[in-house]
Structure 1
Amino acid sequence: MLSLKQTQTVAKATGVRSVAPRVRGAVRCNASLQQAARKAAAAVAAAPVLLASSPAFAIVDERLNGDGTGLPFGVNDPVLGWVIVGVAGLVWSLYFAAQKDFGNFEDDESGLGL
């Protein structure tokens, strides 16, 4: 830590106003028996709630859907991944087959061409 003289020297060199530290008193920490009793009472009151809610803190396993587990798209089973790919492929193939009926969009008036 810099002394007061060093602080003033640095302040003069940089053109910044120096501020002297002000100490108004000592810091005192204390704890009473009443505060400890309040903490113990709060812990006793919270214990039944925590014990009753323990099923909510269960581990996510393969039977659950995988949300929030870091799995891509929540896929925790390979079959589910193939279903997602299959549905996306089906939608794309139906679109590709249906757009052939619209023509080749060579006309500038077609409205759907780029």
Structure 2
Amino acid sequence: MAKIPKNLSDTAMFGDYKENLTFENENYAEETAAPQPVKGIQKDNKNYESEFFTPELQEKVGKALLELKVKLYKEGIVDFDVKVTTQDKQIILTGVPSKAEKKKAK
């Protein structure tokens, strides 16, 4: 029997060995060949707009919207839409009566 050399790299040990594909390892070859997706903000991700919307910020906005809903209810407006506008460094959410609510008032 021949003596096995030490400190060889993996490629040197296996040389030109090619594994025969069987039912046990054919799916494994496809998995390793497929590139892994890159993590991070991607434009095709449907929720990329809300990734910066932290739970604390969601709670603050939710409370403000609840206060708006109560104020509009006291005025007799039950169905309303929220209009979003931006001015310089401000985002303004305005409660506007919905079209169905406007028809009821007439």
The TM-score normalised by the length of structure 1 is 0.26
Return the structure number with greater helix share: 1
Higher relative contact order (CA 8 A, sep 6+): 2
